[in-house]
Amino acid sequence: MILSRHPFRTLLIAAAAISTLAAVGARADDHKKQNHEAARQALLRKEVLPLTRILAIAAQRAPGEVIEVELEQGDHGRLKYDLKILAKNGRVRELELDAKTGATLKLEDD
């Protein structure tokens, strides 16, 4: 442990760092809530397929265990699902599907 000759200064720096991290964490939580709400609204407007349908399409096109799914803004403002799939051979595959139609945009090994 490093002892400072200015313990009060060290305490102030630590307190500032903690409050900054807390503020960043709060903003990240707000951003996640906004993203979840935007995804829910897109689903209600039928701009995206439900996740259950996307998972069924993924199982047909790239069999394996889905280990990650993200709904993202794609080219030209269209939404897309990015999936990472652990194939039976142990390789991770990346599958991108058009969020509205389920069409395959990309399928490749990572």
Can you say whether the dihedral through the CA atoms of 96, 46, 66, 87 is positive or negative?
Answer: negative
Residue written as token pair 């259950």: 52
- Residues with Cβ < 8 Å from 57, sequence gap 6 or more? 49, 97, 102
**Cα-based distances in Å from 25 to 17, 22, 68:** 12, 5, 22
pLDDT of 24 reads 56
Interval 65-91: pLDDT, tens: 999 999 998 888 889 999 999 999 999
- Rounded-to-integer distance, Cα 21 and Cα 17, Å: 6
Interval 18-54: pLDDT, tens: 655 555 555 556 656 677 888 888 899 999 999 999 9
